[in-house]
Chains A and B, each alone.
Chain A
Amino acid sequence: MTLWLMAGLLFTPLAWAVLTLLAGFRWGRAITWLGIAIQVLVSLALWAVVVRDGGFQYPLGGWQAPLGIELRVDGLAVTFVLLTALVAAASGLHAGFYLDPDKQWHRYFWPLFWFLWAGLNVVWLGNDLFNLYVGLELISLSAVGLVALGGQSEALRAALRYLMAALLGSLAYLLGVALFYGEFGSLSLSGIAFALRQDSARDGAGFALVLMLFGLALKTALFPMHRWLPPAHGIARSPVSALLSALVVKGSFYIAARLWLELGAPLGSLALAQLLGLLGGMAVFWGGWQALRQPKLKQVVAYSSVAQIGYLFLLFPLTWNTTEAAALQAQQAMTLQVTSHALAKAAMFLSAGNLIMSVGSNRVNALAGVSHFLPFSLFSFGLAGVSLMGLPPTGGFAAKWLFLQASLATGQWWWLVVLLGGGLLSAAYVFRVYRASFVEDSNIDHFFHPARRLEIIPMILALLSLGLGLMAEPVLSVMALTFANGEGT
């Protein structure tokens, strides 16, 4: 049973990438629907298995680590697998109606979409440093391809800039992997953590950790290395932007978090932890401030991602050398922030796409009067915004509340400034979009009305993000599940 689930999870996206590459856009869409159904079912079933029996290690090809590659299927991994299934399914369904089937380059959306999904699953389940690198490459290259898809020179420029940033990040990460391999003779993350527990005098690997965290932070667009993100996420088609903001940047962050939680205690330092937290805090303010000033709607949403990513990096100072309870709270906060931001941001980009489609312009000021014509999409946008602001009962609120408690418990009160100020800034940029949409402008009377199904998808995502705060308890209890036999946590 588990064997089939793992196969479905790992190989369906790859097989579907090949199938959709051979088909045209419309056939690709039909094939994709089937694939989405399989992936969602498999992810749910695997989640249920882990909830029932606890996590497990999965050796590929029957070769145990360190000779072969072992996957790590635990509560956190399946939570993110399920989140990916939800968000990718929503974006895929939306894209099927949003993209123009008669433009022949749109056929390449499907294979790239499936490769992206495959790469995400590789990263969530990875426990081998090199395997994680390959997963990162799958994600980055398909994301770059999706940004560039049939675009004009602006899109190509953004994609190329994205590619350069992603490559530099990958290379830094890869150099770190090579140094770790040299030091420990193994690529298995749990193997390295085990070796470090036996003999913690190996401080030469500290530089490797710094390199890898730098590479991953660049790929996650941490301030001040964020400048590639807004052009790329802003110019991509809206379903693509949703995938990029909701999932792609989380992939590299997730690896950084796993590295830190496994190796941070012996190899990290107070300065490194505080520096990462500080950059995260600056990202919250800078991203929020820039979002407030952007003339284009999707740039507002993209800069809001820069800000929301900043919160995630509070994980580093709050888990370094702190009490177990506070560290656990910080991890829970990080999980909730990843989940709620993924849902809310996907909802926001998809509804922004609908709004742009409706008024025929990508500028915030052009939204005047749209509240009459597209209240449903505007409402989804606002609901997602409520979660980003961190108002109860949303998932964003639960995440920030936990971050706040962890900050107080560890005596690092300065993060409170970030948590409160960031919420106010996000309120400001969400209300700015609302204000523009409620302006009465009788000169415009040619609104295009997108299909109802395009409006329902972001609404569902926004509602999920809203309800996450109420559901936080069960989500967090699954996240904390580790291996059934109690080892290797």
Chain B
Amino acid sequence: MKRDLALLPATAICLAFVSGLAYSIWQIAITIKPVDLPGLLGKNLDQSGVENPVTAVLLNFRSYDTLLEIGVLVIAGIAGISVARTSSLEDPELRTSDTLLYALQRWLIPLMLLLAGYLLWAGSDRPGGAFQAGAVLAASGVLMRLGGIPMDFLRPGIMLRLGLSLGFAVFLLVAVTSALHGGEFLAYPPELAKTLIVVIETVLTLSIAMVLLALFVSAPVNNAEEPEEGGSG
């Protein structure tokens, strides 16, 4: 009985939340939007350099958001590697000797790399792009890691940090350089828009994969090092 009473406020909150949400969605369904954003997007799509509206929004119209989102991913990567020691790369416990996995890898990894490349390329005119391709690339890295293939670049050294920041750095460089040509910030020159977007997508793919892979590899946290300030007294 007491337990049921304790559930009461939680149930009330959930009910209020669901009914509020339902009412809002109902209101959204019956009112007309004052701004027609998809229409506006369609009108400006030919100036964006790519044919896929999603890629156009991500890398041109709202490229500032995307730049910052990549920043968020880099932060996640940094936070991950800053709390973990990656000595576990050689940890024999983490290395499998599964023959099935090993045999499958020889088939899967080339296919997955190909798929990542395709997703990246497809991003310019149909669904796909850096995030999807990066995720597939990271997944193949995870498979390789599980299969015990040594990947020294995942140790917390300069290679790892370079890989983490490469996509973000190139994106940022493009943004600043385009400004030096007198335009607004993050405004690509129209004739170069397509090339720049493809270059950015490619390096982003690498960095996104690197962040995800680094988080996977540095996930086990050992006993950490630093006591609290004045904690000994």
Contacts and interface: CB of A to CB of B under 8 A. Distances in A.
B206 to A, nearest CB: 15
A360 B233 contact: yes
Interface stretch (B24-32, B93-101, B117-125, B133-141): B24-32
Contact of B172 (A18, A131, A205): A18
Contacts of A185: 33-37
Contact of A3 (B33, B44, B179): B179
Nearest to B66: A134
Interface string B52-68: 00000000111111011
B75 A103 contact: no
A182 B36 CA distance: 11
Interface of B is mostly: helix
Interface string A466-480: 000000000000000
Interface stretch (B2-10, B157-165, B196-204): B157-165
B26 A145 contact: no
Nearest to A236: B229
A156 B221 contact: yes
Contact of A22 (B27, B36, B165, B230): B165
B58 to A, nearest CB: 12
Contact of A149 (B44, B75, B82, B161): B82
B215 interface: no
Contacts of B76: 141
A105 interface: yes
Nearest to B178: A61
B165 to A, nearest CB: 5
B148 interface: no
B56 to A, nearest CB: 10
A304 interface: no
A63 B61 contact: yes
A175 B18 CA distance: 13
Contact of B31 (A66, A137, A204, A361): A204
A311 B65 CA distance: 32
Interface in B132-174: 158, 161-162, 164-165, 168-169, 172
Given A10-B185, A68-B62, A198 B34 contact: yes
Given A130-B65, A141-B75, A360-B230, A156 B172 contact: no
Interface residue tally of chain B, by bracket? Answer: 35 or more
Contacts of B81: 108
Interface in B45-88: 60-65, 67-69, 71-72, 74-76, 78-79, 81-83
A249 interface: no
A186 B34 contact: yes
Nearest to A15: B172
A204 B26 contact: yes
A92 interface: no
Contacts of A261: none
A238 B25 CA distance: 45
B227 interface: yes
Given A142-B75, A151-B226, A366 B165 contact: no
A191 B184 contact: no
Contacts of A235: 228
A61 B187 contact: yes
Contacts of A298: 229
B212 interface: no
Contacts of B83: 105, 148-151, 156
A65 to B, nearest CB: 10
B184 A60 contact: yes
B113 interface: no
A265 interface: no
B61 A145 contact: no
B1 interface: no
Contacts of A137: 69, 72
30 contacts: A3-B179, A6-B185, A11-B185, A14-B168, A15-B172, A17-B74, A18-B169, A22-B165, A60-B63, A61-B186, A103-B225, A105-B225, A111-B74, A118-B68, A122-B68, A131-B64, A137-B72, A141-B79, A152-B225, A156-B83, A182-B24, A183-B24, A185-B34, A207-B21, A208-B24, A211-B20, A238-B229, A356-B229, A360-B230, A363-B230
Interface of A: 3, 6-7, 10-11, 14-15, 17-18, 21-22, 59-63, 66-69, 103, 105, 108, 111-112, 115, 118-119, 122, 130-131, 134-135, 137-138, 141-142, 144-145, 148-156, 175, 179, 182-186, 191, 195, 198-199, 202-205, 207-208, 210-211, 235, 237-238, 298, 353, 356-357, 359-363, 366
Given A18-B165, A118-B68, 17 more contacts: A6-B185, A14-B71, A18-B168, A21-B78, A61-B188, A138-B72, A148-B82, A149-B226, A154-B228, A179-B25, A182-B28, A183-B28, A185-B33, A185-B35, A198-B34, A204-B24, A361-B230
